[in-house]
Amino acid sequence: MPAPPPRSSPLRLAAAWLWLAVTLSGCAVYRPAPLETGAAAVLAPPDLDAAADAAGRLSHPRLAPVRIDLGQPLTPQALGLIAVVENPDLKAARAKAGVARAQVFAAGLLPDPAVTLGADHILSGPDHTDPRLAAVALDLNALRERGVSIAVARGARDQARDDLAWQEWQTAGQARLLAARIGGLEILFAIDADSRARADSLLSRVMIAAARGDVKADEVETRRLAAADAADKARQAERDLGVARLDLNTLLGLQPDTVLRIAPAPPPAIGLDTEALFQRARAERLDLQALRAGYASQEAATHKAVLDQFPNLQLTLTRQVDTTANQLIGPSVNFSLPLWNRNQGGIAVARATREQLRAEYAARLFSTRADIAGLVDGLTLERRQRAEIAAQVAPLEPIVAATESAARHGDIAEAAADAARQSLADKRLALVALDQAMAEQTTALELAVGGPLNP
C-alpha cells in the first residue's frame, strides 16, 4: 500500500502566510470620497490672495507668470492667469487629465500571473492518494504588446495634456477679451449717461419754455423723443456692462456680485503678416499639438491592431500529483488559430480612425488659416475706419465749443448747440466702439495664433 502524502511542514505553512501578508500589504485601500465635498469647495468664495500667489508661480507653455498686486487695477494678463487658476471647468479638466496619466502607468504594468489550485478526494477505489493540481499561467500576448500599449497610452496622455493647456490658453484669452469689453463698455456707458443727462436737461428747459408759450409743441415732442432715445441707449449700455462683468466673474470662479477694478487693455498690434502668423500657429497652437499627439496614439493603436491578428499566446506551468502519488510537472501553451477572424475588423476600425484623425487635422489647419486671415482683415479695416473718424473729430471740437459759446450768449438756439454736441458725442462713441472692437479682435487673433502677438 502506498504511503500517504506527507503533510505540510510548519515551515512551509509559515512561508505561505508570509507571502500572503507581503502581497496584501501592497494592495490599495478603499477610501470614500463624498461627491458634495468637491461641490462645496467650488461654490465657496475663492481666496484671491492664494489665487494671485498661484498665478505668480504658474507653469504654462504659453502663459508667463506675473506678480499680481490685488490693491491695483488688474491687467488683462493678470485676469487671464487668475482664470486659469480658479476656473471651475479647468479644475475639472485637470482632474480628467490625471486619468490619462494613470492610464500610462497602467499600460506599463506587467500582467499578473494566473494561479490555478485544485484537489480531489478519493471516496473509493484502489488508490489512496488524493490528486492535487497547481498551475501558473502567464499571458504572453500582453508582454508582446506592452510596447505599443505604452505608446498608445503616452500619446493619449500627451493629447490630454496639450488639450488641457489649450483650454487654459483659451480661458485666459476669454478673460482678457472680457476685460477689454468691460473697459470699452464702461466708457460707452459714461458717454451715454452724459448724453442722457444732457437730453433730460434740455427737455426740462424746453417744457418750461413751452409752458410760457415760447416754443411749439413739435419742439417739445422732438426733445422728448431724443431724451427717450438717450435713456434707452444708457440703459442698454448699463445692461451690457452688467452682463460682461457677470461673465467675467463666472469665468474667474468669483461670486456673481464681485466688482473688479480693471486696468486698460494694451494698444492693438500693428503690422500683421497673415502668412507669418499662420506659420506660427501651425507650429505653436496647442490644439494642433494635441491632434498630432492623438494621431501618434492612433498610429500605435493601429500597430497594436495588426499585432492582434497573430495568435494570442498563454504559457501555463503545471505541477500535479496523481492518484498513484506520481508527481508531474510540465508546461502548456494555449493559443487561438487565426483562420477566419484574424482581427480584420479591429484593423479596419483602427485604420479608419487614423484616416479620420488625419482629415480632422487638415480641417483644423484650414480653419486656422481662414480665422487668422479674417481677423487680420478685420483689424486692418477697423484701424482704417478709426483713423477716418478720428480725422473728423479734430475739426469738430472747435465747432462745438463755438456753438456752445454762442448759445450761452443767446446768439443761436440751445437746440443747435445740443445738435453739435450730440454729433461730437456720436463720433466719440464710434471711436470707443472701434477701440473696444480692436482690443477684442487682437485678443481673438492671439487665441487663433496660439500665443502672444509680440512674444
Rounded Cα distance between 58 and 51, Å, is 10
**Which of 264-273, 276-285, 343-352, 366-375 bottoms out in mean pLDDT, i.e. has the lowest?**
264-273
Q: Which of 179, 176, 229 is nearest to 202 (CA)?
A: 229
Whether pLDDT at 200 is above 80? yes
pLDDT per position as a tens digit, 279-316: 999 999 999 999 999 999 999 999 988 888 887 777 78
Residue 5's pLDDT band, with cuts at 50, 70 and 90, is very low
The mean per-residue pLDDT over the stretch 347-372 comes to 94
Cell of 319: 505541477
Q: Which of 182, 171, 179, 178 is nearest to 75 (CA)?
A: 179
Q: Would you mind telling me the total number of residues written for the chain in this entry?
A: 455
Residue 109's pLDDT band, with cuts at 50, 70 and 90, is confident
More confident residue, 211 or 260: 260
Whether pLDDT at 2 is above 50? no
Mapped onto helix, strand or coil, the DSSP state of residue 27 is: coil
Rounded Cα distance between 374 and 396, Å, is 33
More confident residue, 62 or 107: 62
Checking 51-59 for CB contacts under 8 A at 24+ apart, the result is 51/82, 51/85, 51/86, 52/78, 52/82, 54/85, 55/81, 55/82, 55/84, 55/85, 58/84, 58/85
pLDDT per position as a tens digit, 206-217: 788 777 877 777
Q: State the pLDDT at residue 13.
A: 60
The mean per-residue pLDDT over the stretch 48-65 comes to 86
More confident residue, 373 or 401: 373
pLDDT per position as a tens digit, 144-169: 788 888 888 888 888 888 999 999 99
The mean per-residue pLDDT over the stretch 91-103 comes to 80
Beta strands 132-139; 327-334: pairing state? unpaired
Residue 24's pLDDT band, with cuts at 50, 70 and 90, is low
Q: Which of 228, 193, 221, 196 is nearest to 207 (CA)?
A: 221
Rounded Cα distance between 46 and 438, Å, is 32
Cell of 65: 507668470
Rounded Cα distance between 100 and 108, Å, is 13
Domains of the chain by residue range: 59-449
Q: State the pLDDT at residue 7.
A: 46
Which superfamily is assigned to 59-449 in CATH? Outer membrane efflux proteins (OEP) (1.20.1600.10)
Q: State the pLDDT at residue 89.
A: 87
Rounded Cα distance between 285 and 165, Å, is 10
Q: Which of 411, 112, 453, 57 is nearest to 276 (CA)?
A: 453
More confident residue, 314 or 378: 378
pLDDT, mean over the chain: 83
Q: State the pLDDT at residue 41.
A: 61
